[in-house]
Amino acid sequence: MSKRIYLCLAHMSEEGLEQKYIKEAFDTNWVAPLGPNVNAFEQELEHFVCSGSETLTKQVVALSSGTAAVHLALLACGVGPGDEVIVQSFTFCASSHPITYLGATPVFVDSEKDSWNMDLELMEEAILDRKRKTGRYPKAIVPVALYGMPYNIDRIMEIADKYDIPVVEDAAEGFGSRWKGRVLGTFGKFGVLSFNGNKMITTSGGGALICETEEDKNKIMWYSTQAREGYPYYQHEAIGYNYRLSNVCAGIGRGQLTVADEHIAHHKKIKNLYKKLFADVPGIEVHDNPDERYDSNFWLVTLTIDPALKVKGQENAYKTVVKGAIGGAPGVVRATDNAHTDCEPNTNVEALRMVLDEADVEARPLWKPMHKQPVYKNAPAYVNGVSEHLFKVGLCVPSGPCVTEEQVRYIVDSIKNAIVEC
């Protein structure tokens, strides 16, 4: 392979509609965080998330990021200083950081074995225990569609309704994933979408919030435009945020929406190919839908690797300190002198990652559980060991729209050639 194969990168539509809408934004001088593309993108998203239902109606607000969407959803749920919010531990930090923005405390809940998403019996136990310990129920529940896999939203809503707790669905990784045929993000009070450059569709950077009512949408839009009051001058009676999506970025999103179904179908096809090619490899398993209720978009294909499997170069795992971001991950990485933490992938997983890196293939460990992150060492956590185990044995491999069948075969062959014994 002559070019590096990345986990998941944006892929423009063949018709070049993204450029068409961007050109319109510049031609009309609409380059602000408002404009025709933003309005149209929101309407098109509303149609997409309600697809498959003749009666479902939702309102969508386009925002600067999925993290902003989580933040404003929690704010609209009344989360504030001293409150607690139930959130899945096995996730990216964008699910939990906004809780702390509001002065609240995340209460982490571990995962179930089949879907890898929140263990719902443990979730209810956490709700009742927090009530016993604090005298109050948590202010919100944030389930996460991990790597696109749906959560059991029927059971989540049953528990949430029982204790009158609003649900903020974090479907940032689950764009187009469905539970019993219905798009994720449309069940709870709010649903979070992300259009980061590595997501199913992109606006280069951006997100959206799915709302139940026009009243909710107007409240979110008000907060996202600095909470300005209705005067002919700037009057502020609440703290607002600069979170609206730009008209230029919305133009990219409009073009991307035209290929959304195609992208989702491609990810599913790639997952099936990995599953087929690894079928005869003992010790490696491709994560899949637990049953017919689940319809994941398979944003990333994830593998679990038996701890007994031996990999070439395993003896060199964690011998050197990482100097830059793994796989070209975005953002600034602060250097460390220690190659180890108290919870890390097994040496055979790290060895495979290094083998693939040498083969110009980006691969990454699964998300490190939030309850094992130093920044959350004092946060309440209800754990069963599932997410810690998965973090130690799991690996993400490329599956994006630019990944070809030939590249998948190359990746699988690289892994097979790296295996010594099991």
Label each residue of 209-258 as H, E or C: EEECCHHHHHHHHHHHECCECCCCCCCECCCCCECECCHHHHHHHHHHHC
Residue that finishes a domain, picked among 237, 259, 281: 259
39 and 130 housed in the same domain: yes
Residue 7 forms part of a structural domain? no
For the four alpha carbons of 228, 233, 234 and 236, in that order, the dihedral sign comes to negative
| Domain boundaries, position 142 | 17-259
Residue 9 lies in a domain: no
Say whether both 327 and 358 belong to one domain: yes
Minimal CA–CA distance to 416: which of 305, 271, 299, 288?
A: 305
pLDDT band at 369 (very low <50, low <70, confident <90, very high): very high
| CATH number of the domain encompassing residue 270 | 3.90.1150.10
Q: Which residues pair with 302 in a beta bridge?
A: 396
**Do 243 and 265 fall within a single domain?**
no
The predicted-structure confidence for 398-421, as pLDDT tens digits, reads as follows 999 999 999 999 999 999 999 997
Q: Are residues 253 and 303 in the same domain?
A: no
Q: Which residues contact 242 (CB under 8 A, 6 or more apart)?
A: 33, 64, 224, 225, 226
d(CA 32, CA 116): 40
Q: Of 212, 228, 259, at which residue does a domain stop?
A: 259
| 11 found inside a domain | no
Tell me: do 203 and 310 sit in the same domain. Answer: no
The number of distinct structural domains making up the chain is 2
Average pLDDT (239-268) is: 96
Q: Are residues 171 and 227 in the same domain?
A: yes
Same domain, 118 and 56: yes
The per-residue pLDDT of the chain, averaged, comes to 94
DSSP assigned state of 101: H
DSSP 21-85: HHHHHHHTT--SS-SHHHHHHHHHHHHHHTTT-SS---EEEEES-HHHHHHHHHHHTT--TT-EE
pLDDT one-digit tens code per residue, 139-173: 999 999 999 999 999 999 999 999 999 999 999 99
**Segment 1-42, tens digit of pLDDT:** 458 999 988 777 777 888 888 888 788 877 777 899 999 999
Q: Are both 40 and 186 inside the same structural domain?
A: yes
Asked if residue 2 belongs to a domain, the reply is: no
Q: For position 192, what pLDDT does the model report?
A: 98
Quote the CA–CA distance of 153 and 180 in Å, as a whole number: 10
CA gap 111, 121 in Å, rounded: 10
Find the mean pLDDT for residues 72-94.
98
Handedness of CA 142, 331, 193, 272 (dihedral sign): negative
pLDDT digits (tens, 9 = 90+) for 309-343: 999 999 999 988 776 655 445 566 777 778 899 99
pLDDT surpassing 50 at residue 84: yes
Residue 83, in any domain of the structure: yes
Q: Given a cut of 60, is residue 68 above it in pLDDT?
A: yes
Whether residue 5 lies inside any domain: the answer is no
Mean pLDDT in residue range 253-269: 96
Highest mean pLDDT among 195-199, 322-326, 371-375: 371-375
Q: Could you tell me if 126 and 268 lie in one domain?
A: no
Whether residue 288 is found in the same domain as residue 343: yes
- Please check whether residues 174 and 212 belong to one and the same domain: yes
Distance CA 380, CA 411 (A): 40
Residue 89 belongs to a domain: yes
Of 209, 225, 259, the last residue of a domain is 259
For the domain that residue 139 is a member of, what is the CATH number? 3.40.640.10
pLDDT of 251 > 50? The answer is yes
In a domain, 6, yes or no: no
Least confident of 2-6, 125-129, 212-216: 2-6
Same domain for 141 and 255: yes
